[in-house]
Amino acid sequence: MNPVDLTRIPTADPLRAYRYRDGLYAADLVTAALVHLDFFTWLAANPSSVTGICTHFDFAERPVDVMMTLFVANGFVRRNGDVFHIADSGLEYLVADSPWSLAPYYRSLKDRPVTMDYLKVLKTGKPANWGAYDEGFDWHRSMEDESFARQFTAAMDCRGVLLGPAMAKALDLSRFSRLLDIGGGSGIYACSLVANHPGLSATVFDQASVEKIARTRVEELGFPDRVDVRAGDMLTQPLPEGYDLHLYSNVLHDWDVPEVRQLLAASFAALKPGGMLIIHDAIIGPEKDGPLPVAEYSAMLMHSTQGKCYSVNEYEALLSEAGFRGFTFQTTAADRGVMTAGKP
Ligand SMILES: C[S@@+](CC[C@H](N)C(=O)[O-])C[C@H]1O[C@@H](n2cnc3c(N)ncnc32)[C@H](O)[C@@H]1O
């Protein structure tokens, strides 16, 4: 990997390059709904809530929630309270009996593998490849394998070289001294934070398959004296104590609500009083109507993990429930943002 100065932000706009990658699966979700389900024709006649949609199609809640956020963000559908109604562009371009319907145009794409996956994910609520161990592992099982972990961690690391410093520069951490970076991957975010905040040292906490990869990368980045690496399982072991700062960067979005609840409760228990929790992620706005690039990325996470991009309000509710108080949110770079919450 390349040497890099984590106090520097590149000068060119990253959005086009990041958005192709993050939004890659969204068109497959639209195709699945439009061509395989004739969903928009049904919704035009049956304005419905997430629960109503799940009942009618026998779908699971998490993927339907992600799908509807994507359709609202695109302006195909509008949300009125809990109920979704077809909007003008949905009515004119996506409903079967409209003279401008594009369903036949999308039909030639209907057998794309990811389009077909979405039909399964909507039904089961499980990520694609869940349980299909003869064809390939789901993402969490795959991460236990060291060579997959190496490849995946390198992918997370390269986007973090921009996102980590952007997050670090957005935060005032002068009150804090010890950071636990939970599910910290290569350590790029822990290193970015210590590079920009001289009073901070950090521990990268991740599963055993990632430990060696993180140690090598932390050395390469030049922070072995201020960032150590510790292997452990955040879901089956208590989190290590003695830290006044916790970071979940792109971690909670991999999990469904019960695991997010569990992780936030574990953080609340382990953080020092007066400590702070940081969530760095792609975060949906409070009205769940965008930003569109985040709704598109959420479609990818819904396909491949047990999670999604949560909204600011969903995070605030979960953080409150765990005992956290005093929330902040700000955008950082490339459609990402950072939330903080205090432990009283
Ligand atoms: C999407 S990656 C994010 C990595 C890094 N924080 C980032 O922002 O790029 C999720 C990380 O969570 C780690 N992880 C998943 N399950 C875990 C567990 N049970 N205990 C500890 N780490 C876990 C993975 O190994 C992976 O490094």
Task: Determine how many CB atoms are found less than 10 A away from the CB of residue 128.
Answer: 22
Confidence check: pLDDT of 210 > 80: yes
- Residues 127, 138: contact at Cβ < 8 Å? yes
Q: In this structure, are residues 153 and 210 in contact, taking their beta carbons and an 8 Å threshold?
A: yes
- Contacts with 228 (C-beta within 8 Å, 6 or more apart), sequence order: 202, 203, 204, 218
For residue 58, how far is its CA from the centre of ligand 1 (angstroms)?
Answer: 31
Q: What is the pLDDT of residue 131?
A: 53
Q: Is the CB of residue 339 less than 8 Å from the CB of residue 279? A: yes
164 lines ligand 1 (CB under 6 A): no
Strands (E), the chain: 77-80, 83-86, 178-182, 201-206, 227-231, 245-249, 276-281, 325-331, 337-342
> Does the beta carbon of 234 lie inside 6 Å of ligand 1?
yes
Ligand 1 atom closest to Cα of residue 253: 1
**Under a CB-based contact definition with an 8 Å cutoff, are residues 173 and 245 in contact?**
yes
249 Cα to the center of ligand 1, angstroms: 8
Tokens of 208: 């055993």
Give residue 185 CA to ligand 1 midpoint distance, Å.
6
Gap between the Cα atoms of 263 and 240, Å rounded:
13
Ligand 1 pocket test target in 137, 142, 156 with most atoms within 8 Å of CB: 156
Residue closest by Cα to atom 11 of ligand 1: 183
Closest ligand 1 atom to residue 250 Cα is 8
- Interface predicted TM-score (ipTM): 0.99
In tens, the pLDDT along 268-290 reads: 999 999 999 999 999 999 999 99
Residue 139 Cβ < 6 Å to ligand 1: no
Which of 207, 213, 332 maximizes ligand 1 atoms within 8 Å of its Cβ, making it the mutation to test the pocket? Answer: 207
Residues 239-275 have pLDDT tens digits of 999 999 999 999 999 999 999 999 999 999 999 999 9
Of 164, 158, 159, 211, which is closest to residue 183 (Cα–Cα)? 211
185 Cα nearest atom in ligand 1: 27
Supply the pTM of this predicted model.
0.96
For the stretch 69-89, pLDDT in tens is 999 999 999 999 999 999 999
Q: What are the chain's domains? A: 19-129 (1.10.10.10), 142-342 (3.40.50.150)
Determine if ligand 1 sits within 6 Å of the CB of residue 167: no
